[in-house]
Amino acid sequence: MRRRSGTGIPAPLLVPAALAVAFLVLPLVGLLVRAPWSAIGPALARPEVGQALRLSLVSATLATLVSLVLGVPLAWVLARSRIRGRSVLRALVTVPLVLPPVVGGVALFLVLGRQGIVGSWLDDAFGITIPFTTAAVVIAETFVAMPFLVVSVEGALRAADARFEDVAATLGAGRWTTFRRVTLPMVAPGVAAGAVLCWARALGEFGATITFAGNFPGTTQTMPLAVYLALQSEPEAAIVLSLVLLAVSLATLLLLRDRWLGRAGRAL
């Protein structure tokens, strides 16, 4: 019996799939079609654009590093530990995925602001004020982006074969050594995929950043905030800035997709 080719797409699936592609791609095409290509050079040469782009790249990278340091251990706890209330903890950790970013910014302000639960103590004891600083940008981006990393790494840990860790334990390896030498290499593609998603989410963060950090050029004004500000007075400049963000995002995904995201998909 001849095996049927797997390339055919049923019509009931083809039509909604084509509509989904059009829905997702046409806005990007519109951005490219309406772009003022002759004005891109002068717009990019403006110092505030360079400051916003540099701040976006640095803050997103720092937010991703913080998420890696904190999120990978948290994902291990959710995937491998036997502590009580893991389901509740998982729900709380993933709340920022569905929480409106502006609400997240308000929540951060109530905790880390001058009158906040922790912020008042930091201000009184050390004179540290976090809101409306560059550190506030990193904190806001970490808050909204870390769950993407945690979910990705937890999925990779659940899919990984725990027998390798059991063998390492029988050979005398401690838990930390097993995690460092066995577990982490096994889930490295998942960690990398989560880091890419985390970085991309942090790069595009707007609501929590403008609420908690404000919109001060050179200090807290990231590229999404610069796009929003330019859209009110200079629509062409807003389009140019949007193209820059689009180019950075596409370059990141294209460079890392086959090398890391593809491996993560096979691992998951």
Q: Is residue 209 part of a domain?
A: yes
For the chain, what is the mean pLDDT?
A: 84
Report the percentage of the chain scoring pLDDT > 70.
92
- The reported pLDDT for the residue numbered 48 is 79
CB half-sphere exposure, 134, CA atoms < 13 A = 14
Q: Is residue 163 part of a domain?
A: yes
Helices (runs of H) and strands (runs of E) counted in the chain: 15, 0
Confidence band, pLDDT 50/70/90 cuts, at residue 210: very high
Q: Rounded CA gap, 189 and 246, in Å?
A: 24
Sole residue written with tokens 């030498």: 181
How many domains does the chain contain in total? Answer: 1
Q: Is residue 154 part of a domain?
A: yes
- The reported pLDDT for the residue numbered 189 is 86
Task: Give the domain range for residue 76.
Answer: 45-267
Model's pTM, two decimal places? 0.84
- Between 59 and 244, residue with greater pLDDT: 59
3-state secondary structure string, 140-198?
A: HHHHHHHHHHHHHHHHHHHHCCCHHHHHHHHCCCCHHHHHHHHHHHHCHHHHHHHHHHH
Q: Is residue 125 part of a domain?
A: yes
- Residue 11, pLDDT > 80, answer no
Q: Rounded CA gap, 134 and 209, in Å?
A: 10
Lowest mean pLDDT among 41-55, 105-119, 213-227: 41-55
Sole residue written with tokens 């929003």: 228
Q: Is residue 34 part of a domain?
A: no
- The reported pLDDT for the residue numbered 31 is 85
For residues 72 and 185, the answer to whether their CB atoms sit within 8 Å is: no
Q: Is residue 206 part of a domain?
A: yes
Sole residue written with tokens 């701040």: 55
Q: Is residue 28 part of a domain?
A: no
Confidence band, pLDDT 50/70/90 cuts, at residue 268: very low
Domain CATH number, residue 256: 1.10.3720.10
- Residue 208, pLDDT > 90, answer yes
